[in-house]
Amino acid sequence: MTAAMHQVATGLGVPTGDARLLRLTNNAVFALPSAAIVIRIARTHQLYDRVSKVVRLAQWFANVDSPTIRLAANVEQPVRVGRLLASVWEYVPPTSPAPTAEDLGRALREFHTPGVPPFPLPMWDPVGDARRRLDDAEGLGDHDRAFLVDWCDRLEPRLDALRQATEGQLIHGDAHVGNLLREPSGRVVLCDFDATCLGPRQVDLAAVAVGEARFGGDDAYRSLADTYGYDVTTDPDWPLLREARELKMIAAAVPLLASSATIDREFTTRLRSVVEGDHRARWTPFAELTG
């Protein structure tokens, strides 16, 4: 990934002396502060469609002045690097104060306002995402796999009914404070559009509500709900939205089980709380376990 970053930077004619890795998940994300850009490289060619979707979304977001991070100017996107694809973004330097749940509420309200882009987007499909994770699960035991498959089977028709009852709306898909940046101007913008799709807008409020319930917190969700103007925990579909988010939070660990004992233990804790119907059990963020 570092070699690919250097290749992209060379093609752009920018220095890499201060390049640093910001994140390494499905994407390798590098900041190049002196060049005022961020290079985001999909780690597998299987993510080609997602990279192209994100670039097209970012171009539309700029046209409607959505509160989102901008693509770097004068760069033909996406950038091909060997068998991989990269996107190049404006660098937003760390700016105080750090974004808050209240900022997220304002950003989401503005993000949802323009409506739906004039091009196709995938539908919100947490069960489909979970099934794909299960297909890439070398360290998953047979008993746990059977439970997760059965959970997907039970959840899928209920989510299908929710989608059919809800007009397709633009949703970020992974709306939490960690996906906010504060620009030097003070404006707070959303980033990371890999999960952006069409679905019920309540999904974008459920992420913080479920996160606070499972990880603890200081009433961040209340600030989000008050600022956005809607409390998803009072929605008739809240139990279903919570279950869909928890499936996503558990399935995210499945491909990593064979390579991390600490993640394996946290996965077991999370799954046990779901099996037992224990909504008060506290979880530990995977980021704290992987450094």
- In order of their start, the domains of the chain are 2-90 (3.30.200.20), 101-290 (3.90.1200.10)
| Rounded Cα–Cα distance for residues 202 and 231 (Å) | 9
Burial zone of 89 (CB within 10 Å; 0-12 exposed, 13-18 middle, 19+ buried): buried
Q: pLDDT exceeding 90 applies to what percent of the chain?
A: 82
For the segment 207-261, what is each residue's pLDDT rounded down to a tens digit?
A: 999 999 999 988 899 999 999 999 999 999 999 999 999 999 999 888 888 888 9
Mean pLDDT of the chain: 93
* pLDDT exceeds cutoff 60 at 291: no
Average pLDDT over residues 269-277: 96
Query: What token pair was written down for 108?
Result: 């989401």
The rounded radius of gyration (Å) of the Cα atoms in the chain is 19
**pLDDT tens by residue, 21-47:** 998 877 899 999 999 999 999 987 767
Token representation of residue 142? 């047979």
Average pLDDT over residues 138-155: 94
DSSP tally for the chain: helices H, then strands E: 10, 9
Q: What is the pLDDT of residues 174-200, one digit of tens each?
A: 999 999 999 999 999 999 999 999 999
Instruction: Answer for the pair 288, 178: CB distance below 8 angstroms, yes or no.
Output: no
Query: Phi, psi (5° rounding) for residue 214?
Result: -95, -35
Q: Which of 54, 72, 55 is nearest to 13 (CA)?
A: 72
CA distances from 98 to 188, 227, 242 (A): 9, 17, 27
